[in-house]
Each structure stands twice: as C-alpha cells, then as structure tokens.
Amino acid sequence: MPTKKTVHKEKHAESIFDAPVVSKELHKELKLSKKLILILGTVLTLCVIVGFCLYYYLQYQQNQKVLKNPLLASEMEQEKVVSNVSQLTQLPQGEQPTIAKVSDITKLQGQQFFQHAKNGDYVLIYSKAKEAILYDPDGNKIVQVGPISLNQSSSQQAALGAQTTPQQISAVIENGTTIAGLAKKTEVQLATSLPVITVVSEGNAVKQDYTQTIVVDLTGKNAAVASHLASVLKGIVGPLPSGEVKPAGADILIILGNPQ
C-alpha cells in the first residue's frame, strides 16, 4: 500500500495588517495631550476675553473722565482741530492759537472774512502772528485765511468767544508765462476763494519762463496767508526770484508759472 504523505501546516507569523494593540502607557499619553490642548485653549480664550473687557473698561473710564471735565474735552477737541488744520496749511510757529467756534453766524454778517462761514466752523486766532484761519470741520477744509486785529466786541464775543477784525492783504499778480490773460483769471479765482486778498495791480514778470507759481511774502508778516495762497494756486512759497523787482506797497507778490 502506498504510504500517505503527511502534510504539515506551518504557522504563519501575524500579519502586519492586523490592528496593533495600543499599550496602556500610550493611551495615557494621548489622554494627557488632549487635556493639555483643552487647558491651553481655555486659557487663551480667557486671556482674549479679559483683554477685551480691560480695553473697554479703560475706554469707559476715559469717556467718564472727559464727561466730568468739560475743559479736558475742550482741550482734546482743540488739539484735534489744530492737527487737522496743520495738515492743510503751514501754521504760525512759536504759539498756540486761541480757538473759537462759530455758534451764531447772524452776528457776523457783514464781515468779509466770515462771508462763507457757517455755524460749527472754527476760527484759529494767532495773536502774535496776527493771523486768523477759518476752518470747516465738516468738509475738512480751510475757508478763509487773513490777518486780524483784536478788539473788544460783546456781540461777536458772544458768537465766537473772541473778536476778529480781518484786514485786507494787498497783492500784486505778475504773469511769469506767455499765456495771455492768466493774471486776470487768477484774480477772479482769488476773489472767490480768498476775498481777504485785494489785488492792487497786474502785470508781467521780468522772466516769462516760470514753470511753477511762486508766492512771495514781501513783508514777512503773512506766512499763513502765503502758504494758503500757494496751496490754492498749486505753487510754492519762496523768496523774491533774482532779477525780479519788488513791488512797492504790496504785502504779497504772486508770480504765476505754467499750470501743471
């Protein structure tokens, strides 16, 4: 009889695809990591909440301080006004302005300086420089600039808190280009935008090749006006150019350059 061959089945090693058994130590580490992440997230959230609460609390305290102290509120308002105006024109140096708010425009009627003013506008009065600047906070623009003399007027003090009598500034316009009629056109423009300026004469500059308008403060007493004029005419404030003649009896000389 043939002998049956016995087939021996070998035990195979455990498959690598079988799910591994997680040790107790690893399980504990995972639980601890999750707890740490949860704790850190909670702490960060609390820090953010506390930070917001502290910020709003300080803001509230500051607002209460301002409300209880009107003078402080006024000082803060004035600082903001000066800061805004300084970005629009060059301010007189070496002094802080007296700032008045127009509260009753009807009491200022008939004054050329205030003809375009409205209630809520501010007047910055520089007593040493004898300059006044009318500022419109709603439009963030300068309405008028001019020299002033201070006196006592009860009706206007009631409207402004300080009285200003603007003085006219005499100006000479000279055409520094070959463009005909440019000086007259500029005079009409200034009559609308700066009525405090009185043009006493027009003419031609010695040179006719100016590429930029130059505003010359002939007396050295109208820095704010000269700066504002330069801004309106898109020019610069500068000294009397070499070769040009200083006009007599004028506060400001405007030498027109080619429009850009």
pLDDT of 214 above 90 = yes
- What the block records as the tokens of 201 is 């004469």
Q: How confident is residue 260, by pLDDT bands cut at 50, 70 and 90?
A: low
Q: Rounded CA gap, 103 and 41, in Å?
A: 55
The neighbour count for residue 115, using CB atoms within 10 Å, is 14
**39: in domain:** no
- Edge to edge, the sheet with strand 141-149 lists 98-101, 122-126, 131-136, 141-149, 165-166
Same structural domain for residues 228 and 177?
Answer: yes
177 and 219 together in one domain: yes
Residue 34 counted as domain residue? no
pTM beyond 0.75:
no
Is position 16 within any domain?
A: no
Over the stretch 47-57, which tens digit does the pLDDT of each residue have? 778 777 777 66
Give me the pLDDT at residue 230, please: 85
For residue 111, is it within any domain?
A: yes
Give all strands (DSSP E) within 116-244, no chain letters: 122-126, 131-136, 141-149, 165-166, 169-175, 197-204, 214-217, 236-237
Could you read off the pLDDT of 145-169 as tens digits, one per residue? 877 655 534 344 444 444 444 567 8
**Domain finish residue from 166, 188, 205:** 166
Based on the domain organization, do 179 and 154 belong to the same domain? no
Pick the last residue of a domain from 117, 138, 166: 166
Which of 118, 135, 166 lies at the terminal end of a domain, its last residue?
Answer: 166
Q: Do 137 and 159 share a domain, yes or no?
A: yes
| pLDDT at position 78 over 60 | yes
Q: What is the CATH number of the domain that holds 176?
A: 3.30.70.2390
- Is residue 17 in a domain? no
pLDDT category at 17 given cuts 50, 70, 90 is very low
- Is residue 83 located within the same domain as residue 162? yes
Q: Are residues 84 and 103 in the same domain?
A: yes
What stretches of 181-258 adopt beta strand conformation (E)? 197-204, 214-217, 236-237, 252-256
| Residues of the domain holding 124 | 70-166
Same domain, 198 and 225: yes
The answer to whether residues 93 and 155 belong to one domain is: yes
178 pLDDT more than 60: yes
User: In the chain, how many domains are there?
Assistant: 2
Indicate whether 151 and 197 sit together in one domain: no
Cα(207)–Cα(205) distance, rounded to whole angstroms? 5
Give helix 24-68 / helix 70-86 axis angle, nearest 10°.
100
Tell whether 180 and 241 lie within a shared domain: yes
